[in-house]
């Protein structure tokens, strides 16, 4: 929902006849793009001080603001709420997510991708040497922990739902605690985000990723079909097509991994 910014404080003060001895900063008249992202998926994105921050937030802002907008990443609610608001058009942009049929119904996707997310299979360390994993069928019958609203692509989502015993919870910390109590066997989750969550939650050395990833998924910036920004996808995509972009993203992921862990 792109909208105009409110008048600056300086303009309001003038209308009210309030004198000021200091010059006010210039007003920002750029139209505002409302954006959202996952609230707990560092270093890609997470909630801090009422804002969604992280590598996804930075590159989405850079890609869109170069077109003359200002991106507002103030928190709208948890992941399900973010997606619901993109569906209704209350939010213009989902800053990074996997593509799936449900999201295709209400979003259009920027090409090329903004990043790749390696989905690891996390297990208790004591089971890491005994659980052979080289293909999805090796996971048949296992107890799987997943975060509510998280998608890892339609094929893997459907496989897990059909062939494993899925239990969905609110966040990654809850899944790690369940694993520590032997209530689930595996946690498919992003390698970077999962590694950070393990460190943060006090389970380093107890829960580890298997060497073979379950998949490498493409993260994309998506735009609500109801947003005026939907007509400008090729211009947004030009940012991610630049030769220097992969190194930019790599450095941002490293930086925001440090930022997140140092704040804990």
Instruction: For residue range 26-76, list pLDDT tens digits in order.
Output: 558 999 999 999 999 999 999 999 999 999 999 999 999 999 999 999 999
pLDDT of residue 4: 59
Exposure b/e, 165-193, CB count within 10 A at least 16 = b:
eeeebebbbbbbbbbeeeebbbbbbbbbb
The string of DSSP codes covering 8-29 is PHHHHHHHTT---SSPPPPP--
pLDDT of residue 153: 86
Residue 227 pLDDT > 70: yes
Residue 20 pLDDT > 80: no
* Mean pLDDT calculated for residue range 192-218: 94
Question: pTM to 2 decimals?
Answer: 0.81
Instruction: For residue range 163-192, list pLDDT tens digits in order.
Output: 999 999 989 999 999 999 999 999 999 999
pLDDT of residue 150: 87
Tokens for 73, please give them: 């990443």
Average pLDDT, the chain: 91
Distance between CA 257 and CA 264 in Å, rounded?
A: 11
Residue 9 pLDDT > 50: no
256, 53 Cβ separation under 8 angstroms: yes
**What percent of the chain shows pLDDT beyond 70?**
90
Residue with tokens 């948890």: 78
pLDDT of residue 18: 38
pLDDT of residue 136: 98
121 bridge partner residues = 188
Q: Which residue has the higher pLDDT, 16 or 83?
A: 83
């Amino acid at each position: 929902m792109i909208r105009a910014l409110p008048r600056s404080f300086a303009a309001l003060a003038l209308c009210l006849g309030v004198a000021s001895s200091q010059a006010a900063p210039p007003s920002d008249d750029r139209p505002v793009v409302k954006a959202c992202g996952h609230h707990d998926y560092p270093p890609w994105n997470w909630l801090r001080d009422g804002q969604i921050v992280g590598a996804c937030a930075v590159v989405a802002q850079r890609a869109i603001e170069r077109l003359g907008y200002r991106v507002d990443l103030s928190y709208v609610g948890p992941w399900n709420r973010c997606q619901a608001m993109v569906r209704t058009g209350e939010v213009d942009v989902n800053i990074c997510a996997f593509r799936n049929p449900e999201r295709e119904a209400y979003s259009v996707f920027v090409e090329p991708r903004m990043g790749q997310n390696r989905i690891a299979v996390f297990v208790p360390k004591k089971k890491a040497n005994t659980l052979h994993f080289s293909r999805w069928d090796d996971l048949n019958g296992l107890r799987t922990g997943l975060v509510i609203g998280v998608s890892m692509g339609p094929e893997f989502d459907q496989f897990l739902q059909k062939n494993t015993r899925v239990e969905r919870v609110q966040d990654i910390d809850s899944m790690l605690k369940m694993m520590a109590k032997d209530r689930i066997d595996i946690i498919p989750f992003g390698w970077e985000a999962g590694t950070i969550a393990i460190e943060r939650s006090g389970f380093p050395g107890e829960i580890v990723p298997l060497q073979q990833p379950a998949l490498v998924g493409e993260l994309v910036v998506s735009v609500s079909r109801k947003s005026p920004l939907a007509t400008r996808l090729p211009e947004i995509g030009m940012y991610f097509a630049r030769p220097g972009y992969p190194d930019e993203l790599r450095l941002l992921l490293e930086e925001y991994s440090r930022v997140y862990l140092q704040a804990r």
